[in-house]
Amino acid sequence: MESLRVLTPIRLLQGAFFALLALTFAVHALVDSGLLLQRLSQHKVPLLGLLWCTVCGIVAYILTRARPVLLLDYACHKPSSEHRLSFEACEYFIRRINRYSMTSENFMRGIYHKSGLGDETYGPPFVFNEDNDAKLASAVEEAQEGAFSCVETVLFKSNLSPDQIDVVVVSCGMFTHSPSLSAMLVNRFGFNPNVKTYNLSGMGCSSGAAAVDLGARILSASREVRNVLVAVTESISLNWYFGDERSMLVTNCIFRVGSAAAVLTNDPARRCQAKMELMHSLRSHNGADDASYRAAYLEEDHNDNLGVSLKKDLIRVAGVGLREHIRQLAPRVLPLSEIVYGAYAAAAAWARTKMGLSNADAKPHVPDFTKAFEHICLHTGGKAVVESVQKLMRLPDETTEPARMTLHRFGNTSSSLIFYEMAYFDAKGKFQEGDRVWMIAFGTGFKVCSLVWKSLKPSVMTKDNPWKDCIHRYPLKAW
């Protein structure tokens, strides 16, 4: 996996050995073979040393090379129909608890209608209980219900027992618990006592992609770890906002319940069973900039109501973060023609600046990522986010269709949203062997995470696919 290979001293030594070997062959091509053999026979010790070093280099390379990381399978959680949070159910809940002003109710109603969400998204358990307080028990129930369901399903689909899992990575964007969520999974499924567990929290919607990246790095570097379970859950119960601050009310309208799980492996024997191979992963972090750091911030309002505040410049911050991220990703994935054209555009802009000419009338060059990928899973943070990213990257509607439809059907499920988009592609039968897939997610901080996959087999509609009962209605003609 190209992006996960690290230039260690042993690899530098390998490079030196192979360079020396290449030089030997070059000399052999330039000098008469008989004369070369005669000269080498006079220097047997250096020749044996060269051969020994070459053999050691080859063996060291075989033992330390980065192994391919494969996606065996994945599963998405589909809550029961009893937890569907339609506009009517949402409005009934808000009126029933009587904790918002009429101004706030009207504001949320307007946000909901412009959000791109449909009437079949799912809400947290406390919304449907008689006691409408968001308590810890509701948060735990929400996280466990999704995680347990997905993990059980993905282990069955991957034909693995809990004892075969070496590492468990759990991510939850906005909720943490003690014992940890990974400890809950160990307790529930009885993983091996030697299992290594990791917990990611507070990373917002990017934590799912970050969890996959972490698992892939462990697999790529380790010779002992074979299978990594990645569980991506969310719990919005304790982050439901009960005040009247507009910047905090938006999250009530767009965030919904969702979870996913995936099994990664570096076992070459299971390549024929794997769905995809991870080719690249990239994470960028703009937290050094104050505006980026506070663009989405968990805090209390003036009445001590806790909530996530989404600042007005969130879209601008996302655009800046995405541009910086693309600059790092583009050279790794774009075809040579796009790289050359981009270099030409940059050189032309530099030349105009040197000549004192303005670049205001010149459109900035935007790489055509549709030439690098057959499919793109965009961050479904909200209708405004999808439209802004589409405009920034100049993507056609066909490319953003999975993001828009996922937002309509499931809402913003935070860290698990990229897997719901992958399930949409599978339900539509879009993936073909050899197709390249780009997943990109944004997170608080401000973070951007990319995963680049290569499909190893065509799409298959499975029984557990969350789109199975409704895919015939999508895509929508109007959104």
Length of the chain in terms of residues written: 479
Q: Regarding beta strands 227-233 and 375-377, do their DSSP bridges make them parallel or antiparallel, or are they unpaired?
A: unpaired
DSSP 288-335: TSHHHHTSEEEEE-TT--EEEEE-TTHHHHHHHHHHHHHHHHHHHHS-
* Residue tagged active-site, from 285, 286, 325, 377: 285
CA 400/CA 390 separation, integer angstroms: 7
The residues, any chain, with a CB within 8 Å of residue 379's CB and separated by 6 or more, are: 205, 385, 386, 389, 403, 417, 418, 440, 441, 442
Instruction: Using alpha carbons, list the distances in angstroms from residue 203 to 119, 173, 222, 347, 460.
Output: 28, 5, 25, 37, 31
CA 325/CA 450 separation, integer angstroms: 9
Helices (H), strands (E): how many in the chain?
A: 15, 11
Sign of CA dihedral 320, 322, 326, 328: positive
* Residue tagged active-site, from 83, 253, 379, 449: 379
* Residue tagged active-site, from 375, 377, 449, 465: 375
CB 342 within 8 A of CB 368: no
Active site residue 280: no
Active site residue 325: no
CB 159 within 8 A of CB 168: no
Nearest to 423 by CA among 364, 380, 465, 366: 465
CA 20/CA 48 separation, integer angstroms: 13
* Residue tagged active-site, from 172, 325, 408, 465: 408
**Phi then psi dihedrals of residue 288, to 5 deg:** -70, -20
Active site residue 83: no
Active site residue 53: no
* Residue tagged active-site, from 205, 253, 377, 449: 205
- What is the residue type of 38? Q
- What is the residue type of 259? S
Active site residue 199: no
Catalytic residues: 205, 285, 375, 379, 408, 412
